[in-house]
Amino acid sequence: MANRIIRLQDIVEEVQKHHPEADTDLIEKAYIFSAKAHEGQLRLSGEPYLSHPLEVAYHLAKMGLGPVTVSSGLLHDTVEDSAATLDELDEYFGEEVADVVNGVTKIGQLVFGDRQTQQAEYIRKMILSMSHDIRVLLVKLADRAHNMRTLGIMEPARQKRTSRETLDIYAPLAGRLGMFRLKAELEDLSFFYLEPEAYQQIREGLFRKKGALEKYNQDMCQFLRDQLAEHHIKGEVNGRVKNFYSIYRKLQAQQITLDELYDLLAFRIIVDAVHDCYETLGVIHAIFRPVPGRLKDYIGMPKGNMYQSIHTTVIGQGGERLEIQIRTREMHRVAEEGIAAHWSYKERRAYHEKDAKRFTWLKQMVDLQKELKNPQELLEGVRLELYPDEVYAFTPTGDVKELPRGATLVDFAYAIHSEVGDQCTGAKVNGRMVPLRTELANGDTVEIITSPHHTPSRDWLQFVKTTKARHKIRQWLKVAEREQSVALGKELLERELRKSGVSLQKLVKEGDDLKQIIQDLSFVGVDDLLAAIGHGKVSPGQVTGRLSRLHAPAVEEEVLPEAPAKRGKEEPAGLKIKDLDDLLMRLANCCQPIPGDPVMGYITRGKGVTIHRADCPYLASTETFRHIPAEWDGAGGPQKRYPVKIQVITVDKPGLLADITSALKIADVNVTKASVETTAENKGVAQFTIQVADQQHLEKVFGALKRLKEVISVRRMTG
């Protein structure tokens, strides 16, 4: 950008270009007001302060925005930095302008510190202001763009702070609004101040390759142009070097090195009509082999920020990867200007709400900041929402849900409603039942199946992607865990007390002894104590030990601090394994018990009970007071399957793996993992993880495998 000083006339002309009928009086009035308000003020660079609001307003005008937003740009610093008041703005320029300036001022007043709470507070205010009127954000972005361009004059600490904030918040926000040119500029400027060395390295690297890059670019553009002409498609082709920051990110992710210069270029083909886009894609894929999974059709499935284009990556003549975007002229305009392109022709009062609704992410952010009181969770959530790698999936009634890439069916369920999430038991994707952890793909139609008594599972936390789902699951777990810890603690204590012929009920009724123990161990009440036992923080033996000490003569106390159970050969009550979704009861991964196996419970610290096979070597290495008898009770059922690892040793023969898997299929098991090795003695050693219903089923599987004449042995593995 040249150092030309922007004048009022430049701004007015720019507005008239986009809005020939616009009344520019408002802008002229705003100019005079702003000039008076900032009179005598200087920027750090020594320029008159007014140059800043002029630049901001000019930028907004260039985006195609109308008189209200442009005037707000001219006035954006008057309330904060001069004697002007909001009431004056309201009186002279109307409520809309005053509201926008107020929103911008509020964001500006917050200190963006390193401290999480401050940051979270800042972001909270920003989300609220921009959800109220997105023009607040547009002005703020234009403001930030000019401040970044003139950041050189500031002291280094300030440069870094402002750049960090720009990179973390404003650049992704610009991206969310579809303003990709602005986003790239903000990223590169921030990158320049934050990582000066890396920035220079990329600059120099590109400079060294300038000749080669340009030649490749020209040749490829010409080649593509010829191809279009041959197929009678009218279109423009151009190639450009990606922005520095995105090259830097790719370098960091080690996806490219600076030597692979083709990866530094991106090509764009702009055609007249939508059908030309698809025809062009056909032409390109006929010449070059497409890279699988890299074709994205954002025309059929526009992004939430209205971005449309076809993206594809293909293998070029020399084996290099070429990134190509195909779009129409109108799509291109939207891609460059983003939201502003849509609003350029209508700056009316009614637009905020309607347009805000288009931005699912904005609505989601508003919800997030309402729900997430914890600053760290809020920041994490906002960061997730700001990075727009999203997928779109539909409800059976055709509502579209926008979710981050990698989101699963559970995320989808929570996106519909918290209750749907909490109660979801399964899901159909495009009519087929699939596991809940399945990731969504663009265009999926998802039907969530719920059951009123179903509750969230801790395992979901391992795969959910959205903050909302994570937050809701944790919330539920916290409440449920407490209840279940109390119940489990009660069961454990009762079992221990029974050994010495005491009942918990009686103990609670008589009160004093228990009160004493609770007090000694510094718990608040009975439930608190029971929860601690259920959590494994206190052993039931500790309680009974104290109990016997309360009544036993002092001498005995030292001899037997934790007296073992009396030998009255009464079987201790065991846990019944019924519902394995049960929060505090889980099957151990090490030995993978299945119904029918003799099992033993192990009371973990804070994570309930894990069920191990009775002969599990890991279990044998643990403290026995944490062991608790367990038995299967009605577990399983026709659909319930449990993983088991098995090893099959065979004579080595081609095609054997196929024989084994088909035998497994006939035995009605799913294989979830398989590996095969050949030993020096020419034996095949195959390992499978299969899903079986119970022991009987597993035996059937073993029988089927042993019937294969190539199979030498089959065994279940311990871990």
Q: DSSP secondary structure string, 449-467?
A: EE-TT----GGGGGT--SH
Could you list the beta-strand ranges (E) of 243-309: 265-271, 289-290, 296-297
Widest distance between CA atoms in the chain: 104
Q: Which is closer to Mn ion, CB of 143 or CB of 390?
A: 143
What minimum distance in Å lies between the beta carbon of 77 and Mn ion? 5
Q: Which is closer to Mn ion, CB of 108 or CB of 375?
A: 108
DSSP 3-state percent helix, strand, coil across the chain (nearest 5): 50, 15, 30
What minimum distance in Å lies between the beta carbon of 419 and Mn ion? 45
Residues between 184 and 243 with contacts to Mn ion, criterion CB under 5 A: none
CA dist 41 and 38 (Å) reads 5
In degrees, rounded to 5, the angle at the alpha carbon of residue 703 between the alpha carbons of residues 701 and 707 is 120
Residues between 132 and 161 with contacts to Mn ion, criterion CB under 5 A: 143
First to last CA, the chain: 65
Q: Which is closer to Mn ion, CB of 77 or CB of 133?
A: 77
What minimum distance in Å lies between the beta carbon of 143 and Mn ion? 4
Q: Which is closer to Mn ion, CB of 77 or CB of 297?
A: 77
Q: Are 428 and 434 in contact (CB under 8 A)?
A: yes
Residue with tokens 């082709």: 237
Q: Which is closer to Mn ion, CB of 43 or CB of 383?
A: 43
- Count of residues in contact with Mn ion, rule CB under 5 A: 2
CA dist 639 and 693 (Å) reads 8
Q: Are 172 and 184 in contact (CB under 8 A)?
A: no
What minimum distance in Å lies between the beta carbon of 120 and Mn ion? 23
Collapsing DSSP to helix, strand or coil, 670 comes out as strand
Of 110, 126, 130, the closest CA to residue 118 belongs to 110
Of 515, 693, 509, 522, the closest CA to residue 595 belongs to 693
Backbone angles phi, psi at 133, to 5 degrees: -155, 115
What minimum distance in Å lies between the beta carbon of 12 and Mn ion? 21
Q: Which residues contact 206 (CB under 8 A, 6 or more apart)?
A: 213, 241, 247, 258, 264
Q: Which is closer to Mn ion, CB of 77 or CB of 444?
A: 77
Q: Which is closer to Mn ion, CB of 96 or CB of 143?
A: 143
Among 77, 276, 411, 694, binds Mn ion (CB under 5 A): 77
Q: Which is closer to Mn ion, CB of 170 or CB of 392?
A: 170
Handedness of CA 255, 260, 265, 267 (dihedral sign): negative
The piece of 76-84, 351-359, 560-568, 608-616 that touches Mn ion (CB under 5 A) is 76-84
The piece of 38-46, 69-77, 546-554, 588-596 that touches Mn ion (CB under 5 A) is 69-77
What minimum distance in Å lies between the beta carbon of 52 and Mn ion? 6
Residues between 362 and 401 with contacts to Mn ion, criterion CB under 5 A: none
Collapsing DSSP to helix, strand or coil, 433 comes out as strand
Within 10 angstroms of residue 273's Cβ, the number of other Cβ atoms is 13
Query: Annotated active-site positions, please?
Result: 80-81
What minimum distance in Å lies between the beta carbon of 206 and Mn ion? 32
Q: Which residues contact 683 (CB under 8 A, 6 or more apart)?
A: 649, 650, 651, 652, 712
Q: Which is closer to Mn ion, CB of 14 or CB of 143?
A: 143
The piece of 74-82, 596-604, 615-623, 673-681 that touches Mn ion (CB under 5 A) is 74-82
The piece of 70-78, 151-159, 410-418, 497-505 that touches Mn ion (CB under 5 A) is 70-78
CA dist 416 and 359 (Å) reads 16
Nearest residue to the partner Mn ion, using Cβ: 143
Beta bridge partners of 239: 267
- The residue type at 177: L
CA dist 228 and 128 (Å) reads 48
What minimum distance in Å lies between the beta carbon of 72 and Mn ion? 11
Q: Are 384 and 414 in contact (CB under 8 A)?
A: no
Q: Give the Å distances, CA to CA, from 674 to 526, 621, 689.
A: 50, 29, 7
User: What size, in residues, is the chain?
Assistant: 719
Of 399, 401, 470, the closest CA to residue 442 belongs to 401
What minimum distance in Å lies between the beta carbon of 82 and Mn ion? 12
What minimum distance in Å lies between the beta carbon of 426 and Mn ion? 53
Q: Does 694 bind Mn ion (CB under 5 A)?
A: no
Tokens of 589: 């991964």
Q: Which is closer to Mn ion, CB of 52 or CB of 327?
A: 52
What minimum distance in Å lies between the beta carbon of 380 and Mn ion? 29
What minimum distance in Å lies between the beta carbon of 57 and Mn ion? 11
Q: Which is closer to Mn ion, CB of 143 or CB of 263?
A: 143
Q: Which is closer to Mn ion, CB of 130 or CB of 507?
A: 130
Tokens of 583: 């929060």
What is the signed CA dihedral for 343, 349, 354, 357, rounded to 10 degrees?
Answer: 80
Q: Which residues contact 155 (CB under 8 A, 6 or more apart)?
A: none
Of 688, 577, 590, the closest CA to residue 637 belongs to 577
User: At 105, which helix (H) or strand (E)?
Assistant: helix 95-109
In degrees, rounded to 5, the angle at the alpha carbon of residue 670 between the alpha carbons of residues 664 and 673 is 95
Q: Cα 208 from chain centroid?
A: 38
Residues that bind Mn ion in the complex, under the rule CB under 5 A: 77, 143
